[in-house]
Amino acid sequence: MDKTINITLKVWRQKGPKEKGHFETYNLQNISTNMSFLEMLDTLNEQLVAKHEEPVVFDHDCREGICGMCSLYINGHPHGRDSHTTTCQLHMRRFKDGETITIEPWRSAGFPVVRDLMVDRSAYDKIMQAGGYTSIRCGAAQDANALPIPKPDADEAMDAASCIGCGACAAACKNGSAMLFVSAKVSQLALLPQGRVEAARRAKAMVAKMDELGFGNCTNTGACEAECPKGVSIANIARLNREYLKAKLKD
């Protein structure tokens, strides 16, 4: 039952944001197919440490697909080939014996490499700080049921809100565009009455920040949606465009 495979890893190693990176090849023997992908990397790192070499640096935390910390570009796909899966939910049974697996960091000007496979995604935080909120003060809220919200709107807002901020959208986009991320937040709040109040301001501020940070322009390829581990729809991008253009035309 506990099948094992042998694999070859081609892992991107890079000392720092300004230094030149390269691929390093590692062979791993007897990898249990029940392992998760990150546990396989743990195994690699244990072996490297045993040889007194520096382990491969990669981001990871919750390992249950929700924190958005893991960020590997595996064989040409962010979070690997499977749809609706984060890297930490990917298992080695999805790979064949003898397979070569290429692991790269997110490659986007907005996400500079910090070390090896770890990138700096603080740009997404900055976009959020530009307007991804409702300006309410704690203690000032009215009763939660004072504002009925149609279930379909609430459900659609929830689907947009399920974004985990991992950055796979910008990593998958051939234009390095962060539109899916931005649109998910703008959509969530635009769909709800409590977010409508500042909808115009929010759309303008978040798009301006996104542009300023050097993310690319959306050309509607849909790669972001296809690679999004939470399946956030590009219909949100249409809504962002609408909100933004409406806001700008009003000015």
Partner 1 sequence: MSSIFQSSIGKKLIMSVSGIFLVLFLLFHMCMNLVAVFSASAYNAVCAFLGTNWYALAGTAVLAFGFLFHIVYAFILTVQNRKARGNDRYAVVDKPANVEWASQNMLVLGAIILIGLGLHLANFWYHMMFAELVEAEGQYGPTEGAQWLSYYLSKWPVAIAYIVWIVALWFHLSHGFWSMLQTIGWNNLVWLDRWKTAAKWYATIVCLGFAIVVLGFAFEVFPLLDNCCSEAAAECATKCADACSCK
Partner 2 sequence: MANTIDSKIPQGPLAEKWTNYKAHQRLVNPANKRKLDIIVVGTGLAGASAAATLGEMGFNVLNFCIQDSPRRAHSIAAQGGINAAKNYQNDGDSVYRLFYDTIKGGDYRAREANVYRLAEVSNNIIDQCVAQGVPFAREYGGLLANRSFGGAQVSRTFYAKGQTGQQLLLGAYSSLSKEIKNGTVKLFTRREMLDLVIIDGRARGIIVRNLITGAIERYFAHAVVIGTGGYGNTYFLSTNAMGSNGSAAMQIYRKGAYFANPCYCQIHPTCIPVHGDIQSKLTLMSESLRNDGRIWVPKKKEDAEAIRAGKKTANDIPDEDRDFYLERRYPAFGNLVPRDVASRAAKERCDAGFGVNETGLAVFLDFKYAIQRLGEDRVRERYGNLFEMYEKIMAQNPYKTPMMIFPAIHYTMGGIWVDYELQTSIPGLFCIGEANFSDHGANRLGASALMQGLADGYFVLPYTIQNYLADQIQVPRIPTDAPEFDAAEKAVKDKIAKIMSIQGKRSVDSIHKELGHIMWEYVGMGRTKEGLTNALAKLKEIKKEFWSNVYVPGKADDLNTELEKALRLSDFIDTGYLIAIDALNREESCGGHFREEYQTQDGEALRRDDLYSYVSCWRYQGEDQDPELLKEPLDYEFTERKTRNYKE
One character per residue 222-251, x = contact with partner 1 (rule: CB under 8 A): xx--xx-----xxx-xxxxxxxxxx-xx-x
Give the footprint of partner 1 on residues 23-52 (CB under 8 A): 23
Cβ distance to partner 2 smaller for residue 143 or 174: 143
DSSP state of 35: S
Residue with tokens 């300004």: 18
| From 8, 83, 129, 217, residue interacting with partner 2 (rule: CB under 8 A) | 129
244: partner contacted, choices partner 1, partner 2, none (Cβ within 5-8 A by kind): partner 1
SS3 of residue 50 by DSSP: helix
Q: Taking CB under 8 A as the rule, does residue 143 contact partner 2?
A: yes
Amino acid at 172: A
| Minimal distance, residue 60 CB to partner 2, in Å | 6
Q: Taking CB under 8 A as the rule, does residue 125 contact partner 2?
A: yes
Report d(CA 132, CA 209) in Å as an integer: 11
Report d(CA 83, CA 79) in Å as an integer: 9
SS3 of residue 227 by DSSP: helix
Q: Taking CB under 8 A as the rule, does residue 144 contact partner 2?
A: yes
* Torsion, CA 20, CA 219, CA 87, CA 181, rounded to 10: 100
DSSP β-bridge partners for residue 8: 27, 100
Instruction: Tell me which residues touch partner 1 (CB under 8 A).
Output: 10, 21, 23, 73, 75-77, 81, 102, 104, 107-113, 156, 172, 174-177, 179, 207-208, 210-211, 214-223, 226-227, 233-235, 237-246, 248-249, 251
